[in-house]
Amino acid sequence: MVTREDVENIALLSKLFVPEEELDSLTQSMQEIINFADEINKADADEEGFDNINNLSNVFHEDEVVESYPVEEILKNAPEQAEDHFLVRNRE
Amino acid sequence: MGTISKIHEMLVSGECSCAELTKSYLDEIEKANPELNAYVNVTPDEAMRAAQAVDKKLAAGEEIGMLEGVPMTLKDNLSTKGIETTCCSKILTGYKPIFDATVWEILKSRNAVMLGKTNMDEFAMGSSCETSYFGGAMNPVNTNHVAGGSSGGVSSAVGGNIAAYGLGSDTGGSIRQPASFCGVVGLKPTYGSVSRYGLIAYASSLDQIGPITKSVEDASIVFDAISAPDRRDSTCKGNVGGATYPTLDNDIKGMKIGIAREYLDGVRDDVREAVLEAAKVYEALGAEIVYFDLPILKFALPVYYIIACAEASSNLGRYDGIRYGYKTAHYNGTHDMICRTRSEGFGEEVKRRILLGTYVLSAGYYDAYYKKAQNLRGTIVKAFDRAFEQCDVILAPTVPMTAFEKGHAVSDPIETYLTDICTVPVNIAGLPGVSVPCGFNSKGMPIGMQLIGKSFGEAQILNAAYKYQQAAPDKFMDTKWGVRL
B275-316 tens-digit pLDDT:
999 999 999 999 999 999 999 999 999 999 999 999 999 999
- Cβ <8 Å between A79 and B237: no
The backbone region for B230, taken as left when phi is positive above 0, alpha when psi lies in -120 to 50, beta otherwise, is beta
- Cβ <8 Å between B98 and A39: no
The set of catalytic residues of B is: 75, 150, 174
Query: Which among B329, B358, B377 is the nearest to A13, CB-wise?
Result: B358
Distance CA B280, CA B289 (A): 9
Judging contacts by C-beta atoms under 8 Å, the chain B residues touching residue A59 are 231, 234
3-state SS of chain A is CCCHHHHHHHHHHCCCCCCHHHHHHHHHHHHHHHHHHHHHHHCCCCCCCCCCCCCCCCCCCCCCCCCCCCHHHHHCCCCCEECCEECCCCEC
CA distance A49 to chain B (A): 4
Distance CA B2, CA B468 (A): 14
Distance CA B135, CA B138 (A): 9
Q: Compute the mean pLDDT over every residue in chain A, rounded to the nearest whole number.
A: 88
Q: Which residue of A has its CA nearest to B376?
A: A47
Give B405-437 as a DSSP string: BTTTTTS-HHHHHHTTTTTHHHHHHT--EEEEE
Tell me what pLDDT residue B419 has: 87
Please give the radius of gyration of chain B, using alpha carbons only, rounded to the nearest integer: 21
Distance CA B222, CA B187 (A): 10
CB B233 within 8 A of CB B102: yes
Candidates A6, A10, A58, partner chain B, best to mutate (most B CBs within 10 A)? A10
Burial zone of B293 (CB within 10 Å; 0-12 exposed, 13-18 middle, 19+ buried): exposed
- Cβ <8 Å between A77 and B323: yes
Task: Tell me the pLDDT band of A50, cut-offs 50, 70 and 90.
Answer: confident
Q: Which residue of B has its CA nearest to A40?
A: B299
CB B213 within 8 A of CB B165: yes
CA distance A70 to chain B (A): 10
CA distance A68 to chain B (A): 11
To 5 degrees, how large is the angle CA B182–CA B185–CA B191?
120
Residues A26/A31/A36/A38 CA torsion (nearest 10 deg) = 140
To 5 degrees, how large is the angle CA B208–CA B213–CA B219?
65
**CA B412 → CA A20, A29, B409, distances in Å?**
22, 10, 6
Give B256-282 as a DSSP string: EEEEEHHHHTTS-HHHHHHHHHHHHHH
- Cβ <8 Å between A15 and B338: yes
- Cβ <8 Å between B323 and A15: no
Domain segments of chain A: what residues? 4-41
CB B308 within 8 A of CB B204: no
Distance CA B172, CA B295 (A): 19
CB B147 within 8 A of CB B32: no
pTM above 0.90, yes or no: yes
The list of chain B residues with pLDDT below 70 reads: 409-411
Task: Tell me the pLDDT band of A47, cut-offs 50, 70 and 90.
Answer: low
Judging contacts by C-beta atoms under 8 Å, the chain A residues touching residue B429 are 53
Burial zone of B169 (CB within 10 Å; 0-12 exposed, 13-18 middle, 19+ buried): buried
CB B203 within 8 A of CB B161: no
- Cβ <8 Å between A17 and B339: yes
- Cβ <8 Å between B326 and A10: no
Judging contacts by C-beta atoms under 8 Å, the chain B residues touching residue A14 are 313, 342, 351, 354-355, 358
The H or E element that residue B381 is part of is helix B372-390
Tell me what pLDDT residue A43 has: 86
Q: Kindly report, residue by residue over A11-46, the tens digit of the pLDDT.
A: 999 999 999 998 999 999 899 999 999 999 888 766
Query: Which among A16, A37, A49 is the nearest to B378, CB-wise?
Result: A49
Q: Which residue of B has its CA nearest to A33?
A: B414
Tell me what pLDDT residue B383 has: 94
Q: Any residues with CB less than 8 A from the CB of B364 and at least 6 apart, and which?
A: none
Chain-centre distance of CA B195, in angstroms? 15
User: What is this model's ipTM?
Assistant: 0.94
Distance CA B165, CA B167 (A): 7
pLDDT exceeds 80 at position A54: no
Q: Any residues with CB less than 8 A from the CB of B51 and at least 6 apart, and which?
A: B17, B18, B19, B21, B22, B69, B71, B113
CB B448 within 8 A of CB B458: no
Q: Any residues with CB less than 8 A from the CB of B235 and at least 6 apart, and which?
A: A56, B191, B192, B196
Let me know how long chain A is.
92
Query: Which among B320, B372, B382 is the nearest to A48, CB-wise?
Result: B382
Judging contacts by C-beta atoms under 8 Å, the chain A residues touching residue B332 are 91-92
Domains and CATH numbers, chain B: 3-260+389-475 (3.90.1300.10)
Q: Which residue of A has its CA nearest to B333?
A: A90
Candidates B375, B388, B419, B426, partner chain A, best to mutate (most A CBs within 10 A)? B375
CA distance B268 to chain A (A): 22
- Cβ <8 Å between A47 and B376: yes
- Cβ <8 Å between A14 and B313: yes
Distance CA B122, CA B347 (A): 7
| Cis ω before B17 (30° cut-off from 0) | no
CA distance B144 to chain A (A): 28
Task: Tell me the pLDDT band of A76, cut-offs 50, 70 and 90.
Answer: very high
- Cβ <8 Å between B98 and A74: yes
**CA B221 → CA A53, B163, B245, B262, distances in Å?**
26, 16, 6, 32
CB B154 within 8 A of CB B114: no
CA distance A36 to chain B (A): 7
